Structure 1
């Protein structure tokens, strides 16, 4: 099977580049085209079963989260492009099969090769690159499936999406009571403490709250506390989509179960996942344990607190989101940096003082100010170290000091923002009604 390797003939791209050129910076459109073409030409691998395997860039494995976000900007290009539609369906089918195979795994091999991030991990499944359980790894393919349906009207993937959702709902319910019902463990003997879970692989103790537990963050770093707040809100949004898809294929019992679980997650976050900050008022915590502990920070990886309008149907004008946003984009957040080259959110996953282009793009996309979106786009162009590509992170004072020269998720987020600035993005697919 052959999939498209360029978007240069797509009419939406033609118009987007024309509009971006009209802003007086030709690199805006050039970089948009380069980022989208790079994903298609270099990260997509057609498989014999008709599915598509997607590498992250310079790591040869397929992450459920990354492969979803890498494809999100193409949703804006699908209406008259059947070839791109077929590609996204092929990726979705691959993701559905991976979740059915092992819903706790976050990253997979293309074949049962036995390749792994660490050969000594407890999981010895030859299909699994890594079994770091992250709530968002299950949420993002469901978000992509629902947004694909909304963007194209095609429903041929819905039966498999709904079957996958049964697995996800069951697992998320199990992990609402992680201490008593979960058999999941993760132990890695070598590496930093963020690469393993304490307490014999069970993670730090949690009390039952109604939220669903996660071993690891979207950064693949271990959670300090087991309830990651943005991941739970992202899961609730994914469940909204599940309920709609299930209703469409007349799976009313699953639709009701998904809607009920979404309500439980949101209620639990409201009760246990917010704190009163002395300067910013009522804000979302990043992680909690239900035992009185809360971590106040944000991470550049999505779902993040900053990205809640983008991934969790939180309106960008919501007062609690705005209060949280002010915290995240301030020195009060230990992962926020301001330097001579840029300012933005970083991650404990990368060196101190490093800002993530993903977070710069998210700050632009979730702003209600068009001028701020354009400012974020300029910042991304100005900090690419002349490479024409986005990196995982760069030093706040010197963009030539960067991590990961080839990181497709960051390229996708540039494309999302550039299309949005051009007025041709996916905003209608994720923006909640105020």
Structure 2
């Protein structure tokens, strides 16, 4: 399907940025995702492949379409795709709110051997708080930018209600949760300890997560950026429930849970670092333990302006950002070709283009944005693609040939540098309220 808005946007990118390499990566990535990642089957909502894995992740699919949000304001065809994706995500959540990745059809593909309650429509059932956050954020963004409400129907309301219930249950994981997960044929980061329960936790008011956005097991199971993301999208949901769905009970549930999560983060998720002062921890357990680091995936501590919204404290975020972008953060890595954030999910000394793009998207320094964009355009190893990660001393050493999420984050940064990013588009669009 041809989208004139993409042709016009690519021309604008070339005119403003003036780099043939950046324009080519942008054009190819935006076209490739539409052509190869979006799967259209008769009678089905759109299914978005994560890239070189034949499954759809809730998190990835929402992040993959972020650079198309500004186009959707004036392109009904793009808006149709985004609405269709939200509908597909809603169906997936109603199938299993604990699953993170789904099959295009119920054929049992994926990790069917995992010890958990698998469904043939589920590719992987690693429970991650953020997997439920991203569809709520996307649904709200589509409404804000396009004014469309056809994705905000009774089925969406049921999925939203199920998300709230799931997060409430996971506030007391040890006593109330039905979720268990073990994988017996992978590394330790692919499974949960204690018979699939995870490490011990105390009640904090926050909601529990089995896995990180990297799909690695949490070390401590209250993921702070995930909880801040949940607080933010619950605010979004309360707005949708009030303005569109006319469901005051759903709005009240969303606001009440957001307040409980926020109180938990304030009490347990903030620590004092000897150099950087009061910062957000990455994970805590409610028993006095804290993991001080950041990971390369969203939601991360670095990404909080994109995912945390009003839930974040500006001063604590500034301190946290300084910690994250310093050698005090164990995932911070520096080499001859790049410096940025890596992840325990990938080999040592590898930096993630996603994290570099997030660094650019969350700074107010225009020169820093352009520096990062130029860095990404120099380290694609002559593939003109963004990879999952690359070695800081040798960009030709990388992981994942096609990682669509990384492509999209590059494109989002390009649009941001051009003054046509997601946030600026959201700021411009004012959906009328009663």
Match of 1:400 in 2: 396
Residues 120 and 134 from structure 1, CA distance in 2 versus in 1: closer, same or farther, beyond 3 angstroms? closer
CA distance, structure 1, for counterparts of residue 20 and residue 91 of structure 2: 41
- 1:385 corresponds, among 381, 385, 390, to 381
CA distance, structure 1, for counterparts of residue 65 and residue 219 of structure 2: 30
- 1:184 corresponds, among 173, 179, 183, to 179
State the SS of the aligned residue for 1:401: strand
Are residue 95 (structure 1) and residue 92 (structure 2) matched?
no
Match of 2:214 in 1: 219
Match of 2:29 in 1: 35
Cα offset for 1:70?
A: 0.3
- 2:66 corresponds, among 64, 68, 72, to 72
Match of 1:142 in 2: 136
Are residue 329 (structure 1) and residue 334 (structure 2) matched?
no
Cα offset for 1:365?
A: 0.3
Cα offset for 1:62?
A: 0.5
Stretch deviating more after TM superposition (154-163 or 144-153): 154-163
Match of 1:244 in 2: 239
Aligned length: 425
Stretch deviating more after TM superposition (327-336 or 40-49): 40-49
Match of 1:15 in 2: 12
Give me the TM-score of the superposition, normalised by structure 1: 0.95
Q: After superposition, what is the alpha-carbon deviation per residue over 1:284-336, rounded to whole angstroms, capped at 9, x for unaligned? A: 00000000000000000100000000111159991110110111011111101
- 2:164 corresponds, among 140, 163, 169, to 169
Residues 31 and 95 from structure 1, CA distance in 2 versus in 1: closer, same or farther, beyond 3 angstroms? same
Q: Provide structure 1 residue ranges, at least 5 long, that are not aligned to the other structure.
A: none
Contact preservation (8 Å) 2:70, 2:425: no
Contact preservation (8 Å) 2:171, 2:205: yes
Residues 316 and 207 from structure 1, CA distance in 2 versus in 1: closer, same or farther, beyond 3 angstroms? closer
Cα offset for 1:123?
A: 3.3
Cα offset for 1:5?
A: 5.7
Match of 2:196 in 1: 201
Match of 2:423 in 1: 427
CA distance, structure 2, for counterparts of residue 378 and residue 304 of structure 1: 23
Match of 1:416 in 2: 412
Q: After superposition, what is the alpha-carbon deviation per residue over 1:246-285, rounded to whole angstroms, capped at 9, x for unaligned? A: 0012101111110121122122111100110000000000
Contact preservation (8 Å) 1:346, 1:354: yes
Residues 207 and 9 from structure 1, CA distance in 2 versus in 1: closer, same or farther, beyond 3 angstroms? closer
CA RMSD, 1 decimal? 1.6
CA distance, structure 2, for counterparts of residue 266 and residue 259 of structure 1: 10
Cα offset for 1:428?
A: 3.2
Give me the TM-score of the superposition, normalised by structure 2: 0.95
Stretch deviating more after TM superposition (390-399 or 249-258): 249-258
Runs of 4+ in 1 over 6 A off after TM superposition: none
Residues 316 and 376 from structure 1, CA distance in 2 versus in 1: closer, same or farther, beyond 3 angstroms? farther
Cα offset for 1:154?
A: 1.1
Contact preservation (8 Å) 1:145, 1:161: no
Match of 2:432 in 1: none
Are residue 354 (structure 1) and residue 371 (structure 2) matched?
no
Contact preservation (8 Å) 2:144, 2:426: no
How do 1:228-239 residues align onto structure 2 when only pairs under 5 Å count? 228-239=223-234
CA distance, structure 2, for counterparts of residue 290 and residue 116 of structure 1: 34
